[in-house]
Amino acid sequence: MRKILPLLALLATSALLTSGCAGPEAKLGRGIRNTCEIVRLSGLRTSMEQTTVWNSPAEGCTTGVVKGIDLSVARTGIGLYEIVTFPIPPYHPVCTKYVSPLPTYPDNYRPNLPDDPMYQTDHYIGFDGGNVFGWVPGSQFDVFGD
Protein backbone atom coordinates (compact mmCIF):
# COMPACT_ATOMS: atom_id res chain seq x y z
CA MET A 1 0.00 0.00 0.00
CA ARG A 2 2.82 2.43 0.79
CA LYS A 3 4.41 1.91 -2.62
CA ILE A 4 1.17 2.65 -4.43
CA LEU A 5 0.58 6.06 -2.82
CA PRO A 6 3.61 7.81 -4.40
CA LEU A 7 2.68 6.29 -7.75
CA LEU A 8 -0.89 7.55 -7.43
CA ALA A 9 0.34 11.00 -6.38
CA LEU A 10 2.66 11.13 -9.41
CA LEU A 11 -0.15 9.97 -11.69
CA ALA A 12 -2.56 12.56 -10.26
CA THR A 13 0.02 15.34 -10.65
CA SER A 14 0.79 14.41 -14.25
CA ALA A 15 -2.95 14.21 -15.02
CA LEU A 16 -3.45 17.65 -13.50
CA LEU A 17 -0.61 19.20 -15.49
CA THR A 18 -1.52 17.60 -18.82
CA SER A 19 -5.30 17.95 -18.79
CA GLY A 20 -6.71 20.82 -20.79
CA CYS A 21 -3.44 21.42 -22.57
CA ALA A 22 -4.70 23.99 -25.11
CA GLY A 23 -3.59 26.89 -22.89
CA PRO A 24 -0.11 25.59 -22.05
CA GLU A 25 0.36 24.46 -25.64
CA ALA A 26 -0.45 27.92 -26.99
CA LYS A 27 1.74 29.58 -24.36
CA LEU A 28 4.71 27.32 -25.14
CA GLY A 29 4.33 27.86 -28.89
CA ARG A 30 4.10 31.62 -28.42
CA GLY A 31 7.17 31.50 -26.17
CA ILE A 32 9.22 29.58 -28.72
CA ARG A 33 8.11 31.93 -31.51
CA ASN A 34 9.03 34.98 -29.42
CA THR A 35 12.38 33.51 -28.38
CA CYS A 36 13.32 33.07 -32.05
CA GLU A 37 12.83 36.82 -32.53
CA ILE A 38 16.50 37.39 -31.72
CA VAL A 39 17.34 35.40 -34.87
CA ARG A 40 14.62 36.85 -37.14
CA LEU A 41 15.09 40.48 -36.04
CA SER A 42 11.74 41.41 -37.57
CA GLY A 43 11.17 43.97 -34.82
CA LEU A 44 14.40 45.65 -35.87
CA ARG A 45 13.43 45.68 -39.54
CA THR A 46 9.91 46.92 -38.80
CA SER A 47 11.13 49.68 -36.52
CA MET A 48 13.75 50.83 -39.02
CA GLU A 49 11.22 50.85 -41.86
CA GLN A 50 8.51 52.71 -39.94
CA THR A 51 10.91 55.28 -38.49
CA THR A 52 12.39 55.93 -41.93
CA VAL A 53 8.96 56.34 -43.53
CA TRP A 54 7.34 58.48 -40.85
CA ASN A 55 10.29 60.52 -39.59
CA SER A 56 13.39 60.58 -41.80
CA PRO A 57 16.02 58.23 -43.24
CA ALA A 58 18.58 59.59 -40.78
CA GLU A 59 16.37 58.69 -37.82
CA GLY A 60 15.62 55.28 -39.31
CA CYS A 61 19.32 54.41 -39.29
CA THR A 62 19.83 55.58 -35.72
CA THR A 63 16.69 55.78 -33.58
CA GLY A 64 14.97 53.02 -35.56
CA VAL A 65 17.86 50.63 -34.96
CA VAL A 66 17.96 51.31 -31.22
CA LYS A 67 14.20 50.97 -30.85
CA GLY A 68 14.21 47.80 -32.98
CA ILE A 69 16.95 46.16 -30.92
CA ASP A 70 15.04 47.09 -27.78
CA LEU A 71 11.85 45.49 -29.12
CA SER A 72 13.70 42.35 -30.26
CA VAL A 73 15.36 41.89 -26.87
CA ALA A 74 12.05 42.51 -25.08
CA ARG A 75 10.23 39.96 -27.26
CA THR A 76 13.00 37.41 -26.65
CA GLY A 77 12.79 37.96 -22.88
CA ILE A 78 9.00 37.57 -22.93
CA GLY A 79 9.45 34.38 -24.95
CA LEU A 80 11.89 32.94 -22.42
CA TYR A 81 9.47 33.83 -19.60
CA GLU A 82 6.62 32.06 -21.42
CA ILE A 83 8.71 28.95 -22.07
CA VAL A 84 9.72 28.67 -18.41
CA THR A 85 6.19 29.29 -17.09
CA PHE A 86 4.13 27.50 -19.76
CA PRO A 87 2.48 24.95 -17.40
CA ILE A 88 1.47 27.70 -14.94
CA PRO A 89 -1.61 29.90 -15.58
CA PRO A 90 -2.39 32.55 -16.87
CA TYR A 91 -2.15 31.43 -20.48
CA HIS A 92 -2.93 34.73 -22.21
CA PRO A 93 -0.12 36.84 -23.73
CA VAL A 94 1.75 39.13 -21.34
CA CYS A 95 3.06 42.70 -21.92
CA THR A 96 0.69 43.30 -24.84
CA LYS A 97 0.75 47.09 -24.38
CA TYR A 98 4.43 47.18 -25.32
CA VAL A 99 4.92 44.11 -27.55
CA SER A 100 2.32 42.66 -29.89
CA PRO A 101 1.49 39.00 -29.15
CA LEU A 102 1.63 38.24 -32.88
CA PRO A 103 4.92 38.28 -34.79
CA THR A 104 5.59 41.55 -36.60
CA TYR A 105 6.92 41.93 -40.11
CA PRO A 106 7.89 44.99 -42.13
CA ASP A 107 5.18 46.22 -44.49
CA ASN A 108 7.35 45.38 -47.51
CA TYR A 109 7.53 41.67 -46.54
CA ARG A 110 4.75 39.10 -46.44
CA PRO A 111 5.74 35.70 -45.05
CA ASN A 112 4.71 32.60 -46.97
CA LEU A 113 5.20 28.89 -46.66
CA PRO A 114 8.63 27.74 -47.86
CA ASP A 115 8.78 25.78 -51.09
CA ASP A 116 9.65 22.55 -49.35
CA PRO A 117 8.44 18.93 -49.69
CA MET A 118 7.04 19.18 -46.17
CA TYR A 119 4.53 21.84 -47.26
CA GLN A 120 4.23 21.17 -51.00
CA THR A 121 3.16 17.53 -50.79
CA ASP A 122 0.73 17.55 -53.73
CA HIS A 123 3.58 17.46 -56.23
CA TYR A 124 4.73 14.06 -55.00
CA ILE A 125 1.31 12.45 -55.45
CA GLY A 126 0.85 13.77 -58.98
CA PHE A 127 -0.98 17.06 -58.48
CA ASP A 128 1.32 19.88 -59.45
CA GLY A 129 -1.06 22.39 -60.99
CA GLY A 130 -1.27 21.00 -64.51
CA ASN A 131 -4.03 19.05 -66.18
CA VAL A 132 -4.95 15.86 -64.39
CA PHE A 133 -4.99 13.76 -67.54
CA GLY A 134 -3.09 15.98 -69.95
CA TRP A 135 -2.27 13.07 -72.22
CA VAL A 136 -5.97 12.23 -72.76
CA PRO A 137 -7.45 14.16 -75.70
CA GLY A 138 -10.28 16.48 -74.65
CA SER A 139 -9.31 16.53 -70.98
CA GLN A 140 -9.53 20.16 -69.90
CA PHE A 141 -9.93 19.61 -66.15
CA ASP A 142 -7.49 21.74 -64.22
CA VAL A 143 -6.63 20.85 -60.62
CA PHE A 144 -6.48 24.39 -59.29
CA GLY A 145 -9.19 25.90 -61.54
CA ASP A 146 -7.21 28.70 -63.19
Domain of residue 119 covers 112-146
**For residue 86, is pLDDT > 60?**
yes
CA atoms within 13 A on the CB side of 56: 3
Total number of domains in the chain: 2
- Tell whether 131 is covered by a domain: yes
- Tell whether 49 is covered by a domain: yes
Q: Are residues 22 and 94 in the same domain?
A: yes
**For residue 16, is pLDDT > 70?**
no
Q: Are residues 88 and 51 in the same domain?
A: yes
- Tell whether 92 is covered by a domain: yes
Q: CB under 8 Å to 65, separation ≥6 — which residues?
A: 44, 47, 48
**For residue 136, is pLDDT > 90?**
no
Q: Are residues 76 and 122 in the same domain?
A: no
Where does the pLDDT of residue 8 fall: very low under 50, low under 70, confident under 90, or very high at 90 and above? confident
The confidence score (pLDDT) of residue 30 equals 92
- Tell whether 10 is covered by a domain: no
Planar angle of CA 104, 38, 91, nearest 5 degrees: 65
Q: Are residues 41 and 74 in the same domain?
A: yes
Q: Are residues 102 and 129 in the same domain?
A: no
- Tell whether 13 is covered by a domain: no
